[in-house]
Amino acid sequence: MAQAERFRKRLIAACVRAQNGRGRVGEDGRPRVDVAIIGAGATGVELSAELRNTAHVLSAYGLHQLDPRRDVHIHVIEAGPRILPALSERVSVETAKLLKKLDVDVLTSERVTEVTPLAVLTASGKHIDADLTVWAAGITAPPVLATLGLPVSRQGQIVVGPTLQSEGDPDIFAFGDCASCPWPEKQTTVPPRAQAAHQQATFLYNALRARLDGRPLPSFAFQDLGSLVSLGHFSAVGSLMGGLIGGSMFIEGLMARVMYTSLYRMHVMALHGAVGMALDTVSHWLRRKTSPRVKLH
């Protein structure tokens, strides 16, 4: 929260400086603000679209000298050959097209080698101006896991087998983001996602009951239900998978946006029940009507 708050204040300060002619000026003589996001996974991509929206709102709230499209430059820098490397190529291609429409500068096959206070440098020698830089290039597990004497992955996750027992000690189970669990069908490990953590929690509940009853432990099989990437108020893109639709289905636009919002509502319902979810939805709707879209102070 503290980091997000610091980022918000610095973004507004950079835009106000640019508006008042105290910031940097581009070759075209116009004020400019540059934001560099390192990593084009779902986090980096979603942030870039949200920031484009924020720039529009800031402009509407009084920073009239600042043209949100021309003057606020958003760069997404990815080391791999395409954005959203963990998702299907189609989702990646369609998302790249939508980001282009939002004037987000997407750089692929560019490995960041240095971050200075005002720029990001890449291995190919590119120098990208950056008033603000956001690191969104993946996660690592808490360092404490590496001190437990159990085998850990490159990301510092506890290495577990298909029963979610750690490889170092069968009495220690791990699941969710802190576990590196095999995903044999894809010859990789289960991705660090909420849907995986949720499936593993349900699995583990049953597995631990089986163990207490002296029955053999079952094996965990991750079922990828698909992914949705939100592009702010503009759109969403994703793919749905599963037995119901008989494979994988690409979705985008309003339908994907509605599904993204519905997923959030389903999570609220799981936590607070149907009545709680309905009340939360009404309260959210009222707050949206009365609160500013961007907090300015």
Ligand X SMILES: Cc1cc2nc3c(=O)[nH]c(=O)nc-3n(C[C@H](O)[C@H](O)[C@H](O)COP(=O)(O)OP(=O)(O)OC[C@H]3O[C@@H](n4cnc5c(N)ncnc54)[C@H](O)[C@@H]3O)c2cc1C
The site for ligand X (CB under 6 A) is made up of 43, 142, 144, 176-178, 192-195, 197
CB nearer to ligand X: pick between 215 and 267: 267
CB nearer to ligand X: pick between 194 and 286: 194
CB nearer to ligand X: pick between 49 and 63: 49
**CA 141 remoteness from chain centre:** 16
Dihedral (Cα; 254, 255, 260, 262), 10-degree rounding: 110
Q: How far is the CB of 187 from ligand X (least distance, A)?
A: 21
CA distance 272 to 153: 36
CB nearer to ligand X: pick between 68 and 222: 222
CA–CA distance from 16 to each of 60, 74, 123, 164, 253 (Å)? 13, 17, 32, 51, 33
Q: How far is the CB of 201 from ligand X (least distance, A)?
A: 8
CB nearer to ligand X: pick between 43 and 281: 43
CB nearer to ligand X: pick between 267 and 284: 267
**Bridge partners of 128?**
120
**Contact call for residues 179 and 163 (beta carbons, < 8 A):** no
Q: How far is the CB of 31 from ligand X (least distance, A)?
A: 30
CB nearer to ligand X: pick between 26 and 191: 191
**Contact call for residues 58 and 95 (beta carbons, < 8 A):** no
CA distance 91 to 85: 10
Q: How far is the CB of 192 from ligand X (least distance, A)?
A: 5
Q: How far is the CB of 1 from ligand X (least distance, A)?
A: 12
The DSSP result for 174-209, as a single string, is --GGGEE-EEGGGTEE--S-HHHHHHHHHHHHHHHH
CB nearer to ligand X: pick between 2 and 144: 144
Q: How far is the CB of 142 from ligand X (least distance, A)?
A: 5
> Closest-CB residue for ligand X?
176
Q: How far is the CB of 194 from ligand X (least distance, A)?
A: 3
CA distance 207 to 268: 26
Q: How far is the CB of 193 from ligand X (least distance, A)?
A: 3
Per-residue tokens: 270:
């799981």
What long-range pairs does 8-14 form, CB within 8 A, spacing at least 24? 8/295, 10/131, 10/132, 11/35, 11/51, 11/54, 11/132, 12/58, 12/294, 12/296, 14/131, 14/132
Q: Which helix (H) or strand (E) holds 252?
A: strand 247-252
